[in-house]
């Protein structure tokens, strides 16, 4: 009997090799090559050959209008997708187990199912389990169809027969193509199944959401080519002991990237949070040293969050540095700037920095707020609870301009703040006139600390 032919696939990028190699020649990752049976020459491409009669069109003759999107009643969900669900799009959503991916998509499916036909394909649960969850959440629309199946060919056949307005596949690691002998969830199975769903979405103009499992590091399991094939990649994040969930777009061909939507996990499902700044500041510290507030941009929306710092004398030769919500290297850089430009003796202080609410801040505009919270803890002197800080700090101690400053200031004024510290160059181009609100422009960190820690005004 002839020996079955096998090839090696990279679990990161999907690169194919005839023999095992320690380093993938495609992406350069080490120890990522896995052995799987070779894919037969006959593929499922024939299912879609009837659609190949479509001819190229001039860009000037292609119609684009608002009807290309489905608008759900969840504003936060629409925001993350760039304004709604795009027809013919393929969306990948990942997240930790139990975070609420299936609950979110079931609520979206039920919302769309009140007007249009929706097919929810589950490969992990039975139809009765989905029905029980829907009844618990109070979601039983007439146009929502549940289909428990793992065979991709059968799923595609029923999609073509039903012709729904929305399809949800939960999850991509549980479905398989019979032509490939490897197990569901393998590199070749995930890649081929996603390719079939992508062709179906584009040819039938049906939006398809696929759920992806994540690895221990939080990345979506399977080859990285999976994220390149889809139109949008969403991550559903949240702390295990916190009810708030963050839906983040890291790739979006139809809208802004790094957009977030905030949801609150309740007994009746996920409820959207329309005012995230109020949520992140509802438990803020008043009158304590080491706390400052920053207006950070998350996609197209400014969000106010609190940054807390704690400095204490070290008991060892090397001071400890810990950060949660900001990059560790950014913390080390700002501490070095404070030591060099302001002469603060921080080399014998342990530094602990935290961003409240579980938010991760990566943009440069949060530098000033982090710096002020560190100085506040070092001096053991609290900042005014009505002050907010925006700006990037350079290595020479200068405060550099940031983008979208007017939107940040308006959000701070709306939330009841009275004074904002911004780069002096940003202030020159401002044309805002806000009542009972002071805008202070600063050029360097020495001027910033002098103005922020002087005798506090009674606002």
Pick the range with the lowest mean pLDDT from 63-72, 188-197, 306-315.
Answer: 63-72
Q: 198: part of which helix (H) or strand (E)?
A: helix 187-204
Q: Known binder of ligand: residue 102?
A: yes
pLDDT of res. 3: 55
Q: Are residues 286 and 262 in the same domain?
A: no
Please report whether residue 62 resides in a domain.
Answer: no
Residue 275 has pLDDT above 80, yes or no: yes
Q: What is the pLDDT of residues 128-156, one digit of tens each?
A: 999 999 999 998 888 999 999 999 999 99
- 67 pLDDT band (50/70/90 cuts)? low
Q: Are residues 163 and 310 in the same domain?
A: no
Q: What is the arrangement of strands in the sheet containing 118-122, beginning at the earlier edge strand?
A: 144-148, 118-122, 166-170, 208-212, 90-95, 232-237, 244-252, 260-266, 269-272
Q: Are residues 252 and 369 in the same domain?
A: no
Please report whether residue 458 resides in a domain.
Answer: no
Please give the average per-residue pLDDT across 376-397, as a whole number: 95
Nearest partner of 346 among 381, 370, 377, judged by Cα: 377
Q: Known binder of ligand: residue 100?
A: yes
Q: Are residues 288 and 152 in the same domain?
A: no
Residue whose entry in the numeric block shows the structure tokens 């001027």: 447
Residue 218 has pLDDT above 70, yes or no: no
Nearest partner of 292 among 436, 446, 449, 144, judged by Cα: 449
Q: Are residues 265 and 237 in the same domain?
A: yes
- 439 pLDDT band (50/70/90 cuts)? very high
Q: Known binder of ligand: residue 391?
A: no
Decide if 62 contacts 55 (C-beta within 8 A): no
Please report whether residue 117 resides in a domain.
Answer: yes
Phi, psi of 128 (to 5 degrees): -70, -35
Q: Are residues 441 and 294 in the same domain?
A: yes
Vertex 216 angle, CA 215 and 217, to 5°: 90
* DSSP string across 346-400: -TTEEEEEEEGGG----SGGGHHHHHHHHHHHHHT-PPPTTEEE--EE-TTSBEE
Percent of all residues in the chain with a pLDDT value above 70, rounded to a whole number:
91
- 444 pLDDT band (50/70/90 cuts)? very high
- 242 pLDDT band (50/70/90 cuts)? confident
pLDDT of res. 158: 95
* DSSP string across 209-223: EEEE-B-TTSSBSS-
pLDDT of res. 457: 44
Q: Which of 274, 289, 323 is the last residue of a domain?
A: 274
**Mean of the per-residue pLDDT values for the chain?**
87
Q: Which of 256, 274, 292 is the last residue of a domain?
A: 274
Please report whether residue 69 resides in a domain.
Answer: no
Residue 287 has pLDDT above 80, yes or no: yes
Please report whether residue 128 resides in a domain.
Answer: yes
| Token pair belonging to 5 | 């032919």
Please give the average per-residue pLDDT across 262-273, as a whole number: 90
Q: Known binder of ligand: residue 99?
A: yes
Residue 435 has pLDDT above 80, yes or no: yes
Q: Are residues 389 and 405 in the same domain?
A: yes
pLDDT of res. 216: 65
| Token pair belonging to 326 | 């900001």
pLDDT of res. 448: 95
Rounded to whole angstroms, the Cα distance separating 117 from 385 reads: 51
Please give the average per-residue pLDDT across 290-298, as a whole number: 93
Residue 6 sits in which domain range?
1-38
Q: Are residues 261 and 191 in the same domain?
A: yes
Question: 69 or 223: whose pLDDT is higher?
Answer: 69
Give the SS3 label for residue 71. coil
Q: Are residues 263 and 286 in the same domain?
A: no
**CATH of residue 126:** 3.40.50.300
Please report whether residue 344 resides in a domain.
Answer: yes
DSSP assigned state of 5? P
Please report whether residue 166 resides in a domain.
Answer: yes
Residue 450 has pLDDT above 70, yes or no: yes
| Side-chain-facing half-sphere of 182: CA atoms under 13 Å | 23
**CATH of residue 288:** 3.30.230.10
Q: What is the pLDDT of residues 358-382, one digit of tens each?
A: 788 989 999 999 999 999 999 999 9
Decide if 388 contacts 420 (C-beta within 8 A): yes
| Token pair belonging to 209 | 């959401």
Nearest partner of 393 among 334, 340, 452, 308, judged by Cα: 334
Please give the average per-residue pLDDT across 346-351, as a whole number: 92
Largest CA distance in the chain: 89
Q: Which of 230, 254, 274 is the last residue of a domain?
A: 274
Q: Are residues 395 and 339 in the same domain?
A: yes
Q: Environment class of residue 455 by beta-carbon count within 10 Å: exposed (0-12), middle (13-18) or buried (19+)? A: exposed
| Token pair belonging to 80 | 């993350």
Q: Known binder of ligand: residue 95?
A: yes
pLDDT of res. 40: 57
Q: Environment class of residue 193 by beta-carbon count within 10 Å: exposed (0-12), middle (13-18) or buried (19+)? A: buried
Please report whether residue 177 resides in a domain.
Answer: yes
Question: 121 or 360: whose pLDDT is higher?
Answer: 121
Q: Are residues 340 and 233 in the same domain?
A: no
Decide if 121 contacts 211 (C-beta within 8 A): no
DSSP assigned state of 444? B
Q: What is the pLDDT of residues 412-425, one digit of tens each?
A: 999 999 999 999 99
Give the SS3 label for residue 156. helix
pLDDT of res. 1: 44
Percent of all residues in the chain with a pLDDT value above 90, rounded to a whole number:
54
Give pTM, 2 decimals: 0.77
Q: What is the pLDDT of residues 164-188, one digit of tens each?
A: 999 999 989 999 999 887 888 888 8
Nearest partner of 303 among 371, 362, 253, judged by Cα: 362
Q: Are residues 167 and 233 in the same domain?
A: yes
Pick the range with the lowest mean pLDDT from 183-187, 290-294, 352-356.
Answer: 183-187
pLDDT of res. 459: 37
Query: Cα–Cα distances in Å, from 232 out to 243, 261, 298?
Result: 25, 15, 17
Question: In total, how many domains does the chain have?
Answer: 3
Decide if 144 contacts 186 (C-beta within 8 A): no
Please give the average per-residue pLDDT across 325-352, as a whole number: 93
Residue whose entry in the numeric block shows the structure tokens 């039975």: 126
Q: Known binder of ligand: residue 96?
A: yes
- 389 pLDDT band (50/70/90 cuts)? very high
Q: Known binder of ligand: residue 285?
A: no
Rounded to whole angstroms, the Cα distance separating 367 from 396 reads: 13
């Amino acid at each position: 009997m002839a020996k079955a032919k096998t090839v090696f696939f990279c679990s990161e990028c999907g690169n194919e090799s005839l023999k095992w190699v320690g380093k993938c020649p495609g992406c350069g990752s080490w120890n990522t090559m896995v052995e799987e049976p070779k894919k037969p020459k006959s593929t499922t491409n024939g299912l879609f050959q009837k659609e190949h009669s479509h001819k190229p069109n001039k860009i000037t003759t292609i119609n684009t209008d608002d009807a290309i999107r489905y608008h759900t009643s969840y504003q936060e969900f629409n925001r993350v997708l760039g304004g709604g669900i795009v027809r013919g799009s393929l969306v990948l959503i990942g997240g930790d187990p139990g975070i609420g991916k299936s609950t979110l998509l079931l609520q979206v499916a039920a919302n769309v199912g009140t007007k249009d036909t929706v097919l929810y394909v589950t490969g992990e649960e039975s139809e009765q389990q989905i029905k029980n969850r829907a009844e618990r959440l109070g979601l039983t629309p007439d146009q929502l169809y549940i289909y428990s199946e793992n065979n991709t060919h059968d799923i595609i056949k029923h999609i073509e027969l039903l012709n729904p307005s929305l399809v949800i596949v939960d999850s991509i690691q549980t479905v398989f193509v019979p032509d490939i002998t490897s197990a569901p969830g393998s590199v070749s199975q995930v890649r081929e199944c996603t390719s079939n769903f992508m062709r179906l979405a584009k040819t039938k103009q049906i939006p398809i959401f696929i759920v992806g499992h994540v690895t221990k590091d939080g990345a979506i399991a399977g080859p990285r080519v999976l994220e390149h094939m889809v139109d949008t990649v969403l991550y559903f994040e949240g702390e295990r002991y916190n009810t708030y969930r963050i839906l983040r777009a890291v790739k979006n061909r139809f809208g802004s990237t790094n957009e977030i939507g905030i949801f609150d996990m309740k007994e009746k499902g996920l409820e959207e949070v329309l005012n995230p700044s109020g949520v992140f500041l509802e438990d803020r510290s008043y009158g304590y040293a080491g706390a400052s507030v920053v207006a950070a941009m998350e996609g197209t929306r400014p969000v106010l969050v609190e940054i807390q710092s704690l400095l204490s004398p070290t008991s060892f030769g090397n001071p400890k540095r810990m950060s949660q919500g900001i990059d560790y290297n950014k913390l080390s850089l700002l501490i070095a700037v404070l030591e060099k430009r302001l002469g603060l003796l921080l080399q014998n202080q342990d530094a602990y920095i935290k961003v409240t609410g579980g938010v991760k801040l990566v943009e440069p505009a949060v530098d000033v707020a982090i710096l002020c919270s560190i100085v506040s803890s070092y001096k053991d002197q609290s900042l005014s609870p009505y002050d907010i800080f925006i700006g990037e700090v350079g290595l020479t101690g200068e405060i550099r301009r940031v983008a979208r400053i007017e939107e940040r200031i308006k959000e701070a004024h709306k939330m009841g703040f009275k004074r904002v510290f911004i780069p002096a160059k940003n202030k020159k181009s401002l044309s805002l006139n806000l009542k009972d609100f002071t805008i202070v422009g600063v050029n360097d960190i020495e001027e910033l600390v002098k103005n922020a820690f002087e005798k506090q005004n009674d606002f």
